[in-house]
Structure 1
Amino acid sequence: MTTSSDDADTTELVVGLLADPGLATDLVDRVAGDLPGDLGAALPDHRWRVETARGPVGLDSEGLLPMLRRGAALRRDHGWDVVVLVTDLPRRAGTQPLVSDYGSDECVALVSLPALGAIRLRVRLRRAVVDLVEGLVGQPTAPPVSAARHLRLTPPVVRVVSEEPGIDSHLALQGTRGTVRLLGGLVRANRPWRLVPSLSPALAAASAGAAFGVFYSNIWQLAASLSVPRLSVVAVLAVTAMAAWLVVDNGLWERAAARRYRPEATLFNAATAATIGLGVACMAALLILMTTLAALLVIPPSLLPGADGFPEVLPIYVRLGVLSGSMGIVAGALGSGLTSPEAVRQAAYSTREQQRRALIDDEEPNAHAEERT
């Protein structure tokens, strides 16, 4: 602990935040400036300083997070009083997904971003850090209704006593709402919109397929006659077909060879499907917009069926864009074969998730050998 130069009765405590590369680092950089004020409101007996460092948090041989060992090393190296690790990998205690946990002996804590969900991540991360530091340092003499208290009482988060050596307690998710929040957080950590630049060969093939619809008059008539529900079904089926092709063609479906991974395989596969699906949906939206603009530029309104004037014919342009874009998405599945599986994996998964899957892939041959024996 560092003594304050302003007040001999007040100590200054340094909180160190180590963040995984990617989303965790971005969030930590954004909240670090607000945390001293949050901590001062929750724990007024101390003055607070927050320092940050970039990961990786690290993984052990089983793809788990060695929280206590890593945190103790950081305390020694940086002279921090409290260490909070922020990772974009999920953490579990048995079958319960964890938001955070801490060990008071080492003054080390960990926040798992996926368990914070997909929205309001900055606010939830600030509350989680305050909650952890409050547990490590002690309760304030006159506690306000702090952000940490609000976090603890917000379903589906509950506090549970830890059975792991060196870990005092956990904040855990429970129930269906907790599972949905974790799934949303996994997808958010993967940042599905990054998939679009990696699928440039597929986008090129999709653009060529969509252009066919713009220049083929029979497609104009079909687009004008299709109802909105039927056209929506066509678009959804096209996105689903390409997403399924990407998952299968690039080997993204996780096959848990080791018994300890099987309970998590369904969740991770659901996150993969949602990530790829949203990434393809982003590409489809971009393609539909481009196709609609191209149709407006190339096709005179008088040539479209049922055209009485520009305001009335505008919905037909949009329908043509959706139908031609959906055709292009199906064609884009063929172009996706020109994209390397490594590029798709890098775009679809966070850095930590890529490392976790690599460790599992390395263990698969050994696991199969153990099952045969």
Structure 2
Amino acid sequence: MANSEQHRPEIVVGLVATPPDYPAQVVARLAAELAGRLAEQVDPDIRWTVRAGWGEVAPRRDGGVEALLDDLARRRADARWDVAICLTDLPLHTERVPLVAQASARRRVAMVSLPALGLRQLRALHAAVPGLVGRLLADASQERVPRTGGAPAELTGQVAAIHRVIGEADAGELGYVASRLAGRLRLLTGMVRANRPGRALLGLSKLLAGAFATAAFALTTDTIWEMGDALGGLRLTVIMLLGLTALVTWLIIAHGLWERPGGETPAELARLFNLGTILTLTLAAVVSYLVLFAGTALVAALLIDTSVLEQNLKRPAGLADYLTLAWIISSLATVGGTIGSGLEDEDTVRAAAYGYHPEPGGWRDEKDT
């Protein structure tokens, strides 16, 4: 058995995460099972070896996908891998539609843009990466690499994010693109997923604590009770939206989260980065608001007796009145908490910026081992 294993041809597949932040987590999960999937989907007679590593902390933005593939090709040659696949969180475009993946047989490398896959990224990668590896091997010119893989169009049926294939199929330079409308929506949701809004939510812990303190004080003010009863649902909704907008705007301005276009960052990429930052912070702010609303409603029900509330409102009170009270207090506390958002830890809040990536920590980079 050992002798037959040694006589099977070996193909080394390199998985590279750039930047080594969220993509590194995906690479770690994918690398653990990729060899088995390659044997199942590409060729069971090959001895598959998977190497995992990372690329630049701040990947090149000015050269687009070609610069990324050039960097990956150098990494593949230095590490002596047969083929290499790069997973990146960069939102890339070609022909004004989101680019899901790009394969280059000449360089024997391919790239997958994680945001373009949408929310269910790991499931899509299980089909996309073996398909790309098989495509690269099928188009490889070296005889030591077996010719495997199906037609380029097969990935369009296996990966929902891929709408069509563009490029030179004969030369092995292929781009896999999404549809214009659904692809853009999938890209935005994928960007929020890659930006990990839960991390931004934890970064707003001091703000949430300050908002709770403001809400607790407001609960003791009967003027707020009367104000909430007098305002209609439309006005309460406007106050809530203004509070959330002020919070997100202040976080972006106070912590310098706005990405400016420049020589290294094209205008389109800067717009996508800023949109990803806004969506991430908005989601974190909305979740914080819901937590604040639920906590305020619970405390109001425990501390304010119905008879006391009825005495101030001069009418019978019920559950709707406690919810309305929690609604206006949460909105006002969010505005008050915005001032306290400047006290948040700078690095924690900056993690919500889509273009910001901290130095890698804890990830093992397998160069040529």
Give TM-score, length-normalised by structure 1.
0.77
Query: How far apart in 2 are the matches of 1:248 and 1:124?
Result: 36
Cα distance change on mapping 1:95 and 1:57 into 2, 3 Å? farther
Distance 2:350 2:130 in 1: 34
Amino acid at match of 1:151: Q
Query: Structure 1: how far apart are the matches of 2:201 and 2:251?
Result: 12
| Equivalent residues of 2:97, 2:184 under 8 A apart | no
Matched, 1:287 2:285: no
Matched residues in 2 for 1:92 and 1:125: separation?
A: 19
Deviation by residue 1:264-296 (Cα, 9 ceiling, x = unmatched):
333333222212211211221222222223223
SS at match of 2:157: helix
AA in 1 matched with 2:42: L
Structure 2 gap segments, 5+ residues each: 140-146, 360-369
Equivalence for 2:277: 272
| Residues 134, 148 of structure 2: 8 Å contact kept | no
Query: What corresponds to 1:320 in structure 2?
Result: 325
Aligned pairs for 1:1-373 within 5 A: 5-6=3-4, 10-20=8-18, 21-44=20-43, 46-47=45-46, 49-57=48-56, 59-60=59-60, 62=62, 64=64, 66-93=67-94, 95-117=96-118, 119-138=119-138, 148-151=155-158, 154=160, 157-161=163-167, 168-224=173-229, 230-258=235-263, 261-305=266-310, 313-339=318-344, 342-349=347-354, 351-352=356-357
Structure 1 residue 50, shift from structure 2 partner: 4.9
SS in 1 for 2:256: coil
The whole-number CA distance in structure 1 between the counterparts of 2:109 and 2:329 is 55
Q: Is the 8 A contact 1:17 1:51 kept in 2?
A: yes
Of residues 107-116 and 207-216 in structure 1, the stretch that sits farther from structure 2 once superposed is: 207-216
Task: Check the 8 A contact 2:188/2:276 in 1, yes or no.
Answer: yes
Counterpart residue identity of residue 241, structure 1: A
Query: Structure 2 counterpart of 1:71, which letter?
Result: L
- After TM superposition, the structure 1 stretch with the greater mean CA deviation from structure 2, 237-246 or 215-224, is 215-224
Return the offset for 1:26.
1.9
2:102 touches 2:112 (CA, 8 Å); kept in 1? yes
Structure 2 vs 1, CA of residues 231 and 46 (structure 1 numbering), >3 Å: closer, same or farther?
Answer: farther
Q: For residues 74 and 230 of structure 2, what CA distance do their matches in structure 1 show?
A: 67
Q: CA deviation at 1:261?
A: 1.6
**What letter matches 1:277 in structure 2?**
T
Q: Which runs of 5+ in 1 are unaligned?
A: 356-373
Q: Is the 8 A contact 2:137 2:148 kept in 1?
A: no
Amino acid corresponding to residue 158 of structure 1 in structure 2: R
Could you list the per-position Cα deviations for residues 32-84 of structure 1 after superposition, in whole angstroms to 9, with x for gaps in the alignment? 33433432333235435353424234524847564344434443454432211
CA distance in 2, matches of 1:141, 1:82: 13
Answer yes or no: is the 8 Å Cα contact 1:88–1:350 preserved in 2: no
- The Cα shift of 1:8 comes to 8.1
Question: C-alpha distance in 1, partners of 2:149/2:347?
Answer: 54
Report the secondary structure of 1:344's partner residue: helix
Deviations 1:331-360 (A, max 9, x none): 1111123336554222333645x79xxxxx
- 1:61, 1:116 → 2: CA distance? 20
Structure 2 CA distance for aligned equivalents of residues 350 and 255 of structure 1: 10
Query: Against the structure 1 CA distance between its residues 63 and 288, is the aligned structure 2 distance closer, same or farther, given a 3 Å change threshold?
Result: farther
Residue type at the aligned position of 1:81: D
Provide closer, same or farther for how the CA distance between residues 44 and 168 of structure 1 changes in structure 2, counting only shifts above 3 A: same
Measured in 2, the distance between the counterparts of 1:261 and 1:170 equals 20
Distance in 1 (alpha carbons) for counterparts of 2:41 and 2:156: 9
RMSD over aligned Cα atoms: 3.6
Are 2:11 and 2:46, in contact at CA under 8 Å, matched by a contact in 1?
yes
Per the TM alignment, residue 305 of structure 1 is displaced from its structure 2 partner at its CA by 3.1
Residue type at the aligned position of 2:135: G
Q: Encode CA deviations 1:158-215: one digit per residue, 9 max, x unaligned.
A: 211069xx97111122312222222222222112232233234433332232123221
Question: Identity percentage over the alignment?
Answer: 33
Cα offsets for 1:301-356 (capped at 9, x unmatched): 3323399xxxx84443333222211111101111123336554222333645x79x
In the aligned structure 1, how far is the partner of 2:183 from the partner of 2:354? 21
TM-score, normalising length: structure 2 = 0.78
Q: Distance in 1 between matches of 2:161 and 2:185?
A: 12
Deviations 1:91-121 (A, max 9, x none): 334644311112223321111111112x111
For 2:82 and 2:162, locate their aligned partners in 1 and report how far apart those are by CA, in whole Å: 31
How many residues of Structure 1 are paired with residues of Structure 2 in the alignment?
A: 343
Contact 2:155–2:162 (Cα < 8 Å) also in 1: no
Letter of the aligned partner of 1:89 in structure 2? L
Greater displacement, 74-83 / 272-281: 74-83
Q: 1:334 to 1:56 in 2, by over 3 A?
A: same
